[in-house]
């Protein structure tokens, strides 16, 4: 039924009639290239020796004076730009690979129009681009002939290309003509990021191979035997070479002209037209299957052990479904065949008419196979417009997954990309690939954000216009080079919208989008209801904003243009609209959904919305992050300690987007049950509270975190304000750096909770500054931390002794008299972990000390056995006297401070310098197992120099053996550790030590964390 009629609708989108379309093909040209190649593979050396002839016609309006080819296999060897970009990323792969193992592509004799020519290498020492000066200028419409001899060899470390025994994946194995387009010669070395851009060409490739080799390749076999008949999966498997697809165009007799093959060898000739690359894969063990999609033959070549995962039509079926899906999006597949081979490397790579995949998965086939259109037929420049290649492809396969399901744009991708946008790591989508700050930023931008670009484009123009636009894009541009203008032209023509703002914003900038539902006013009219919805644009990014207007029997969606800072949308309905919400389908990159829905109306603050909240019950450390709502996790709590007895409570932790509005609220009640009666019968009964808020949305800043906390908890009250900043040099780099500072006040309000061996009845106010750095290494990680604290302590009594800097006794407003002294505390530690096969080695060095003499309260001294009392304060099992894990008979070790694990947790010093070492042997290493993923036996030793007053001796050490195991409950991973510090040099101060103990004694300590 009609519940609504729109009276005044939204402001019209910024529309104007499409101009003389910028993206149509008028004036477009592409060069004409014909390769004729003869190549023979010597398997033992892995070298392909080849001779080729390239006929090149200049269709451009320019006169050319040089000619360039790519020798891409030269990327996979020392000295290349590729190796250099790996080195910058901390990857060691091709930079140091010695000669028999690295790849190469070496030119021999070269002639241009009959005159011998010497190559120039403009990016030397990189040799992936070679140039030749032309003997005569090549005028528009003229042709030239280049004859070349070369040798090429794939590398043993696979990267797209590879060799392994008798298996060969040849990608980019021939001198490939560099694209000349309206921007000139696209000479660009091969880097890790971005790769493909080629001239559409005809390939006539004759191969001389071992007679038993089975070949998968671009094109169709027109002479000789590719080996498929002998490799058929079953005797009924058809073999349809499609040799006659191109009619009589490949003139017969090329193999006959080459002469007969030697004994044990064979010759086979492939031919392809209108493709911009030619790949081949060889393996004498390949098994062959085929199928069909319309006129296209589908082929797969897999390994004998793949039968269950690739065979029996599994992969062929997926290839057929992929081509059917692409056909519905774009149009007919133009080529005779589509081949999927099981290559040496994992992952997958696309080539025209062919994908080389490491596995048979449908997702992989939809991705790599989708490239047949988005790269193969629509020939984009991947290293300049990766979004148009990988982004479009990621969108396409995601879209396929969405079909038949409720609209579910990539919210996880949105969340990940928003994190980068909000932290300033994002870079524009349209950029030369090697200019991204690092490889992981390139990947995130080009694949994930690129896919989101297409989701938003679909949202902006609507699904029908989007589909029409894609078909138009294909009809205009198939088998041509495409770019941003080609896609925009097709989309503008299909939608009737000017989309320059959209393409400019999302391809060339890094906008932040945030719309806020500012106000909603509902008025009764004679016909029903008139609702005025005010939308406010807070971000620099602009997107049309859908507005959901819920009605009793339906939800009306109207759209605001989203351009003005404030925009009023008026809706007339028969019934009273329910709660209004912006962007109900989460189709934009609006980073703050907390202000998108209608909230409570207060007189002076307008509408207050906290957004949607999802409540969960359970373990809180792993509270998930949601794209569009806060998640609050509720956890009942119970613990006990000596003063409060059994304590019951609950905790709520919440966050938005995994980074904002992290709130922790904890209430607990000491019941006095099973206490040690220091409070008398019935315990204390007063509730405790801990509150913390991290990173409120309003205080958002790039790579900065803020925390405010306050507590009144088990005889202590205090507060903390902390700020930290991520100073990592690169987004995905191995080095992480951060700095921070915090002001912490901790006052003792009830000393009966204190373990007086660890904590004086003294209040402190501390200002701490710290810096931390970690580095992931190939087989381990190193971390370092420096921390400096200036503190002021306040005694409730007269100072027990003089400190470093003393303050006069002061009377506080409460009438309490306090004395004060200033102290300082510092700690520097460095840790290194190394994994070599089944061995784990860990090393740690730490130096820590205090200044201020006896004015430093116990709780701020340096603890020998592990963490100091402030570090364990947030843990209710360690916080107070008599807590479960703090009891002397429990032998629990919390990691921290000097880390002398054989020593009592109450032993402390004013300074210490310690070394901890641990060597382990992994007996069990099954990361998938939850209960005991790894089990490691270890030998350890800890040694320290201390102030003489601490233990009466200037040195202390322990040594022993232990066992640790890793576990996982839900997403939480933890360790159980049992150490036996059999040798302790000061036995009286050892864990559970007693006067008269010997240095050797059976002692044990256990923990839920690694020692360091």
Q: How far apart are CA 243 and CA 595, in angstroms?
A: 63
CB of 371 to Zn ion, least distance (A): 6
Of 196 and 1012, nearer to Zn ion (C-beta) is 196
Q: Which is nearer to Zn ion, 390 or 979 (CB)?
A: 390
DSSP string, 660-706: EEEEEEEEEEE--TT--SSS-TT-----EEEEEEE--GGG--TTEEE
Residue number with CB closer to Zn ion (160 or 1003): 160
User: Closest residue to Zn ion, Cβ-based?
Assistant: 390
Q: Mind giving me the DSSP string for 823-867?
A: EEEEEEEEEEEEEETTEEEEEEEEEEEEESGGGS-GGGSEESSS-
Task: Specify the residue, 379 or 899, whose C-beta has the smaller distance to Zn ion.
Answer: 379
Q: Are 160 and 51 in contact (CB under 8 A)?
A: no
Least CB distance to Zn ion at residue 767 (A): 51
Beta carbon of residue 35, minimum distance to Zn ion (angstroms, whole number):
25
Q: Which is nearer to Zn ion, 86 or 390 (CB)?
A: 390
Residues 326-357, buried b or exposed e (16+ Cβ, 10 A)? beebbbebbbbbbbbbbbbbeebbbbbbbbbb
Q: Give the shortest CB-94-to-Zn ion separation in angstroms.
A: 21
**Closest separation between CB of residue 349 and Zn ion, Å?**
8
- Cβ-based nearer residue to Zn ion, 138 or 388: 388
What token pair was written down for 836?
A: 């070599």
String of b and e for 509-539 (b: at least 16 CB within 10 Å)? ebebbbbbbbbbeeeeeeebbbbebbbbbbb
Closest CA to 907 of 850, 959, 946: 946
Q: Given the complex with Zn ion, which of 374 and 460 has the nearer CB atom?
A: 374
Map tokens 């969960």 to a residue.
616
Nearest-approach distance from CB 353 to Zn ion, in angstroms: 16
506: helix, strand or coil: helix
Secondary element (H or E) of residue 566: strand 566-573
Q: Which is nearer to Zn ion, 350 or 840 (CB)?
A: 350
With 0-12 CB in 10 A as exposed, 13-18 as middle and 19+ as buried, what is 276? buried
Contact 803, 759 (CB under 8 A): no
The structure tokens listed for 396 are 């396409």
Comparison of 390 and 942: residue with beta carbon closer to Zn ion: 390
CA–CA separation, 866 and 851 (whole Å):
20
Which residue, 357 or 587, is less far from Zn ion as judged by CB?
357
User: Which is nearer to Zn ion, 390 or 598 (by Cβ)?
Assistant: 390
End-to-end CA distance of the chain: 68
Q: Within 10 A of 939 (CB to CB), how many other CB atoms are there? A: 13
Strands 201-210 and 32-42 turn out to be: parallel
Measured from the CB of residue 410, what is the shortest distance to Zn ion in angstroms? 16
Residues binding Zn ion (CB under 5 A): 390
Pick the closer one to Zn ion by CB: 41 or 365: 365
Comparing CB distances to Zn ion, the nearer of 395 and 731 is: 395
Please report how close the Cβ of residue 655 comes to Zn ion at its closest, in angstroms. Answer: 33
Bridge partners, 668 (sequence order) = 649, 688
How many helices (H) and strands (E) would you count in the chain? Answer: 14, 53
Question: Cβ 319 to Zn ion, closest distance in Å?
Answer: 16
996/547 Cα distance (integer angstroms): 78
Q: Compute the distance between CA of residue 761 and CA of residue 759 in angstroms, rounded to an integer.
A: 7
Residue 709, strand partner residues: 692, 720
Say how many CA atoms lie within 13 Å of 195 toward its Cβ. 20
- Nearer Cβ to Zn ion, position 127 or 448? 448
User: From CA 414, how far away is CA 420, in angstroms rounded?
Assistant: 10
Q: Is 26 helix (H, G, I), strand (E, B) or coil?
A: coil
Judged by DSSP in three states, 469 sits in: helix
Q: What does the CA dihedral 922, 928, 929, 932 come to, rounded to 10 degrees?
A: 30
């Amino acid at each position: 039924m009609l519940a609504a009629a729109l009276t005044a609708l939204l402001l019209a989108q910024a529309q104007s009639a499409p101009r003389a379309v910028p993206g149509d093909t008028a004036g477009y040209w592409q060069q004409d290239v014909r390769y004729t190649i003869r190549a023979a593979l010597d398997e033992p050396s892995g070298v392909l020796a080849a001779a080729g002839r390239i006929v090149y016609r200049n269709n451009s309006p320019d006169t050319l004076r040089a000619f360039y080819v790519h020798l891409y296999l030269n990327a996979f060897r020392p000295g290349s730009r590729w190796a250099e970009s790996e080195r910058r990323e901390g990857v060691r792969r091709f930079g140091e690979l010695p000669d028999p193992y690295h790849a190469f592509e070496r030119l021999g004799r070269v002639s241009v129009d009959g005159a011998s020519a010497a190559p120039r290498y403009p990016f030397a020492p990189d040799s992936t681009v070679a140039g030749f000066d032309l003997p005569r200028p090549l005028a528009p419409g003229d042709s030239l002939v280049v004859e070349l001899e070369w040798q090429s060899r794939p590398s043993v470390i696979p990267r797209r290309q590879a060799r392994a025994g008798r298996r060969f994946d040849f990608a980019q194995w021939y001198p490939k003509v560099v694209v000349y387009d309206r921007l000139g010669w696209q000479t660009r070395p091969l880097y890790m990021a971005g790769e493909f851009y080629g001239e559409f060409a005809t390939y006539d490739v004759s191969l001389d191979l071992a007679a038993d080799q089975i070949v998968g390749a671009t094109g169709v076999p027109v002479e000789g035997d590719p080996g498929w008949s002998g490799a058929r999966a079953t005797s009924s498997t058809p073999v349809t070479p499609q040799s006659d697809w191109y009619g009589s165009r490949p003139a017969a007799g090329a193999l006959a002209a080459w002469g007969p093959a030697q004994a044990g060898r064979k010759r086979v000739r492939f031919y392809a037209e209108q493709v911009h690359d030619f790949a081949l894969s060889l393996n004498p063990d390949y098994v062959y299957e085929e199928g069909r999609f319309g006129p296209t033959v589908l082929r797969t070549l897999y390994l004998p052990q793949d039968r269950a995962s690739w065979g029996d039509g599994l992969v062929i079926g997926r290839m057929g479904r992929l081509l059917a899906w692409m056909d519905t999006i774009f149009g007919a597949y133009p080529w005779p065949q589509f081949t999927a081979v099981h290559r040496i490397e994992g992952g997958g790579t696309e080539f025209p008419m062919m994908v080389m995949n490491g596995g048979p998965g449908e997702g992989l086939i939809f991705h790599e196979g989708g490239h047949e259109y988005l790269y193969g037929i629509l020939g984009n420049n991947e290293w300049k417009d990766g979004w148009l290649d990988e982004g479009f492809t990621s969108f396409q396969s995601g879209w396929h997954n969405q079909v038949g399901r409720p609209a579910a744009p990539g919210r996880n991708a949105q969340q990940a990309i928003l994190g980068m946008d909000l932290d300033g790591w994002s870079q524009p989508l349209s950029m030369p690939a090697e200019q991204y700050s690092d490889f992981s930023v390139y990947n995130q931008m080009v694949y994930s954000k690129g896919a989101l670009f297409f989701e938003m484009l679909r949202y902006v123009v609507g699904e029908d216009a989007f589909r029409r636009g894609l078909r138009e894009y294909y009809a205009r541009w198939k088998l041509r080079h495409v770019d941003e203008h080609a896609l925009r032209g097709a989309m503008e023509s299909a939608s009737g919208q000017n989309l320059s703002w959209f393409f400019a914003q999302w391809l060339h900038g890094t906008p932040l989008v945030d719309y806020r539902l500012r106000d909603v006013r509902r008025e009764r009219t004679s016909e029903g209801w008139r609702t005025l919805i005010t939308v406010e644009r807070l971000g620099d990014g602009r997107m049309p904003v859908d507005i959901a207007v819920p009605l009793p029997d339906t939800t009306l969606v109207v759209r605001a243009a989203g351009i003005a800072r404030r925009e009023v949308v008026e809706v007339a309905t028969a019934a009273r609209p329910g709660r209004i919400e912006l962007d109900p389908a989460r189709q934009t990159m609006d980073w703050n959904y907390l202000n998108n829905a209608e909230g409570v109306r207060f007189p002076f603050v307008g509408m207050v919305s906290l957004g949607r909240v999802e409540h969960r019950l359970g373990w809180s450390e792993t509270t998930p992050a949601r794209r569009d709502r806060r998640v609050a996790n509720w956890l009942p709590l119970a613990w006990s300690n000596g003063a409060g007895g059994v304590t019951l409570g609950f905790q709520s932790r919440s966050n938005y987007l995994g980074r904002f509005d992290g709130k922790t609220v904890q209430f607990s009640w000491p019941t006095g049950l099973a206490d040690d009666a220091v409070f008398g019968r019935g315990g204390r009964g007063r509730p405790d509270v801990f509150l913390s808020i991290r990173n409120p949305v309003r205080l958002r800043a790039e790579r900065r975190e803020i925390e405010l906390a306050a507590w009144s908890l088990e005889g202590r009250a205090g507060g903390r304000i902390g700020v930290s900043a991520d100073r990592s040099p690169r987004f995905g780099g191995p080095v992480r750096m951060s700095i921070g500072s915090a002001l912490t006040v901790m006052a003792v309000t009830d000393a009966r909770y204190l373990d007086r061996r660890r904590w004086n009845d003294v209040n402190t106010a501390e200002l701490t500054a710290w810096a931390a750095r970690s580095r992931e290494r190939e087989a381990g990680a190193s971390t370092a931390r420096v921390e400096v604290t200036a503190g002021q302590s306040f005694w409730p009594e007269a100072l027990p002794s003089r400190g470093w800097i003393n303050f006069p006794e002061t009377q506080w407003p409460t009438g309490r008299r306090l004395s004060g002294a200033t102290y300082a505390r510092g700690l520097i530690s460095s840790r290194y972990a190394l994994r070599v096969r089944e061995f784990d080695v860990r090393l740690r060095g730490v130096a820590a000390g205090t200044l201020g003499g006896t004015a430093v309260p116990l709780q701020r001294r340096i603890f020998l056995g592990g963490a100091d009392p402030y570090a364990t304060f947030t843990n209710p099992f360690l916080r107070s006297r008599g807590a479960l894990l703090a009891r002397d008979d429990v032998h629990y070790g919390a990691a921290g401070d000097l880390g002398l694990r054989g020593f009592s947790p109450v032993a402390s010093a004013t300074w210490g310098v310690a070394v901890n070492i641990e060597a382990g042997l992994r007996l069990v290493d099954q990361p998938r197992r939850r209960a005991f993923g790894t089990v490691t036996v270890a030998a350890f030793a800890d040694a320290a120099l201390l102030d003489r007053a601490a233990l009466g001796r200037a040195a202390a050490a322990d040594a022993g053996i232990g066992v640790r195991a890793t576990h996982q409950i839900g997403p939480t991973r933890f360790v159980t550790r049992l150490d036996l510090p059999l040798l302790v040099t000061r036995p009286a101060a050892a864990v559970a030590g007693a006067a008269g103990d010997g240095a050797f004694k059976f002692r044990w300590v256990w923990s839920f964390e690694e020692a360091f």
